[in-house]
Structure 1
Amino acid sequence: MSTMIEAVRRGAGPEALTAAEVPSRYRAAYIRAEDVDMFGVTSDRDVRKSIRVGDVPMPELAPDEVLVAVMASSVNYNTVWSATFSPVPTFEFLKRFGAQGHWEKRHDLPHHVLGSDASGVIVRVGSGVRRWAPGDHVVASPVQADEQEAASHADGMLGDQQRAWGYETNFGGLADFAVVRATQLIPKPPHLTWEEAATTAGCAGTAYRMLISDRGARMKQGDVVLVWGAAGGLGMYAVQLIRNGGGIAVGVVSSERKREALLRLGCDVVVNRNDIGIGDDLSDPAQVIEAGKRLGRIIRREIGEDPHIVFEHVGKATFGISMYVVRRGGAVVTCGSSTGYDHQYDNRYLWMKLKRLIGSHGANLQEQWECHRLLGLGKLMPALSCTYPLEEIGEAARLLQVNDHIGKIGVLCLADRPGLGVTDPGLRERVGEDRINFLQGV
């Protein structure tokens, strides 16, 4: 064990962390460029075959970056995309990024360290970092913005060089150490464990922007919001934000187990998609309309009206229904497309009924801080359902790939057991273990 890892695990202070030696190599979950064609024409690109865990070289730190000792991370769907080398191999992103300059060139490697979530301890800061220091407990935003772009000063998500950290960049969070720009950092909520805090930025921040931000759907009290994939990490944060904001949450799930978990969370109406005949392939427009009618009837029966907002991230399998079922003048807000990017919908429902389509992607740093303020106040709960060690990242990512998960899947990195990292036990007690761990045992 390196002196740095030993110091981090025993909770050493800033002086000891600064004195400890940064290891020349570190353990990480990664994919290899030489494996890009490994799946051939097979229909099941099993991520357990492509994700590897082993030592990789430690990169040099740029002036605007920090080195974080990662205590815990979590699995996002972009981990699945990376490990299946689809829709495009991420090495193409790294090559284009690496062509931009000296510091960017570090990212263009024959291996790609994955992961867009992390909680941990800062152990080194670059020469240009002002507001952070070794010993700080932080969460990393998955959005890497370029502060030298003019558009980034209006909204970090608008810059041409905005990237998904750990997906469009190297040195991500599924590792013992991660390289993070200072403009990605958020204070860790002190009452949460490392693994709980690691589930928040990627999904909670994204849901916050989609629903609450003035750049998203601008949900208001009383709005009926339809949430696809409501038992996943993104969906569970969406349901909480809807409930907190006085909205009415209608969740769609794929099993009775997931339905029970959403009811425990307080979702107003939960619909099993199997009961309305929604599969992964609705290529016939008539099927889309019929499925939309069935779903609309259920929502009107339970709530009395059509949705004001549809929270859409499933993509190809649901998008046409979303556009059909949202009310006249309503909004479909979309990010990601886990079932495919090739969306089909009847444009008459968009144009003739004055509906709105809002594209959303991640969250800017201010939105992340606002969202984490809710977490820090105990008004938003982590959606952690299970935790895996880093050595079993393949199994963890497979759960997400086949949609056999609930909420967020945590991954322990330098934390050698669950439950560590709480620095405000009084707040944790006031919030309540049963609320924080609402998914345990589901």
Structure 2
Amino acid sequence: MTKVRLDETHDPARRSFVEAANQANTDFPIQNLPLGVFSTKSDPVPRIGVAIGDHVLDLKKASGATERLTQPVRDALQETSLNSLFALGRTRLRELRRIAGDMLDQGATGNQVRRHASDLLVSADECTLHLPTKVANYTDFYAGIYHARAAGALLTPENPLPPNYKWVPIAYHGRASSVQVGQGAVRRPLGQRPPAAPGTPPSFGPCERLDFELEMGFYLASGNNLGKPIPIAEASKEIAGFTLLNDWSARDVQRWEMFPLGPFLSKSFGTSVAPWVVMSDALAPFRVAALPRPEGDPRPLDYLFDGEDQVRGGLDVHLEVLLSTAQMRAANTPARRILTSNAKYLYWTPAQMVAHHTINGCNLQAGDLIGTGTISGPSPAELSSMLEFTSAGTKPVVLPNGEQRGFLLDGDEITFRGRCSRDGYVSIGFGSCTGRIAAAEIASLQKQVA
């Protein structure tokens, strides 16, 4: 694993001339500078930027205000997605983050960005945010052991964990085309639902057990050639940055379809990601040890074991889920936090996921998206899906206005937030990943039947 680097970009004393970036509650101080893709009404072509306080620095325009950028980086910043930039690798991303920080530094009085801030900085309120990369491939892991236990116990309480769980990072290939930026509607899917009784046919219609899954996602940097695995000691170099990820799940459809090949329509209708990508280097102060394995758990096989990754391969990211219903919004009631968790609860590290993904020679590509799996924690308040949190709907969440939810109803809005904090460093955040449930599209089917 790459050694954790701390440098002047993590200096807690550093301040930006963008005043909102110096507020204690901001997700986007100068120590963060996450990458994203945005557009405005006046310039509708998507372009690359970094979030700073309540503004976005237009990197396409700002690239002309410095001579420090290499030509490959300058060229990549003219694109409408982050794929080409990520393909340049972590070293170039580190250089870009340092240069962007210098552009936004409070002390840079002669800085061209500060001098022409009105042209290069855009208010976040004026921005439309887009999917950060053109996702060619999406893989979802099952690396949260507390989720695996809690969800498994609802089906096979006598043996909730699969026998291979502690040996291999389990995953499935997801649907890349339905990955969407977490800022809009999520359509309730249609599908087959389990038979009401043995020997009866399945029913068909809108999903009745719609759920979220609290995950983190990460994007690949330069990737690897077909047939050439990425060694575990090199795997972290291939992670460009991290984001929040909601793996929406149709639980009734999933229950009926998943054996023997796993989920299909129950997952492929939509996956939401936060619009901002927090670069791996920004997270250096918040690295922690991999989740300690209890006595008796097997040591990972050699291709999955790296000493440095065991010491610093985890991430301390505080996560939370907020729920807002249509009735709450009509009454101007703020969203209610229903659970919290932390990325440090993952049984397998992101580097182990990359190493395992490629051990058979599978080629990962720049901009590919990998989900960690649901990140539940050890306490009941940290069970990070409705399936677990409400015991499959039998113990519904009770909201302050008296509404109850076992699973999600139309009009419900789910928001994920993530934040890193550590004594001696400035806290950084991931923004938010939000989706509001829209009713299933059944009119066209009804016309066909008619």
Q: Which has the higher strand share?
A: 2
TM superposition score normalised by structure 2: 0.23
Q: Which has the higher contact order (CA 8 A, sep 6+)?
A: 2
Q: Which has the higher helix share?
A: 1
